[in-house]
Amino acid sequence: MRRILSHAVWRVLPDPERKPSIRYVQCKECGKKSEVAMSQAEGDLWAMDHSGRTSHQKYREFAASDLVTKRVRREHP
């Protein structure tokens, strides 16, 4: 059996039908997490409130966006 393989070029792009990114904040000291929200401000408010209640000061923000792939068609000279 013989196969012909070709090289394809793909791009990763934001999904044009996407909703805003979803995000949450996690305390690096105790592991508690904020609710998932679409606004960075909501995570920031959660972190400030958590700091006020616990004196914890280290956080990590997680964000997820929808992506699509698109094959790039090359023009042959």
* pLDDT score of 5: 57
pLDDT attached to residue 25: 98
Cα–Cα separations (whole angstroms), residue 32 to 37, 51, 58, 62: 15, 11, 11, 13
pTM assigned to the model: 0.71
Look at residue 34 in the predicted model and tell me its pLDDT. Answer: 97
Token duo for residue 31: 């592991």
Spatial separation of the C-alpha atoms in residues 67 and 62, rounded to whole Å = 16
pLDDT tens digits along 62-73? 999 999 999 988
- pLDDT tens digits for range 30-47: 999 999 999 999 999 999
